[in-house]
């Protein structure tokens, strides 16, 4: 509860239940599938399956922003 409040909800003026649910849905998706967690050895809780190790790929590094740039995910694009 503290993580979502300090990293997400404290940054927004919430305009109702629908808006709150939208923010929580996007934050939880980011938290579980894209955010590295120091407490578990820098791993992702529920990583999405990838076809290859992107460290060996040749592509530009790209950024996907969510919630107005509050949450960012960096990945290697296709070459």
Q: What is the pLDDT of residue 19?
A: 93
Q: Domain range holding 38?
A: 2-48+56-76
The pLDDT value given to residue 54 = 52
Instruction: Identify the bridge partners of residue 37 per DSSP, sorted by sequence position.
Output: 43
Instruction: Please count the structural domains in the chain.
Output: 1
The band of 53, judged by pLDDT with boundaries at 50, 70 and 90, is low
Q: Between 55 and 66, where is the model more confident?
A: 66
Three-class SS of residue 5? helix
DSSP of 9-76, one letter per residue?
GGGS---SHHHHHHHHHHHHHHHHHT--BGGGTSB-SSPPP-SS-GGG----EEEEEEGGGTEEEEEE
Mean pLDDT of 7-24: 91
Percent of the chain with pLDDT over 70: 85
Q: Is the dihedral of CA 49, 54, 55, 56 positive or negative?
A: positive
pLDDT of residue 56: 60
């Amino acid at each position: 509860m503290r993580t979502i409040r300090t990293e997400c909800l404290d940054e927004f003026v919430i305009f109702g239940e629908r808006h709150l649910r939208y923010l929580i849905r996007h934050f939880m998706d980011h938290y579980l599938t894209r955010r590295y967690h120091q407490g578990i050895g820098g791993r992702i809780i529920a990583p999405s399956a990838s076809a290859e190790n992107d460290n060996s790929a040749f592509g530009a590094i790209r950024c996907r922003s969510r919630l107005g740039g509050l949450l960012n995910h960096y990945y290697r694009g296709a070459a």
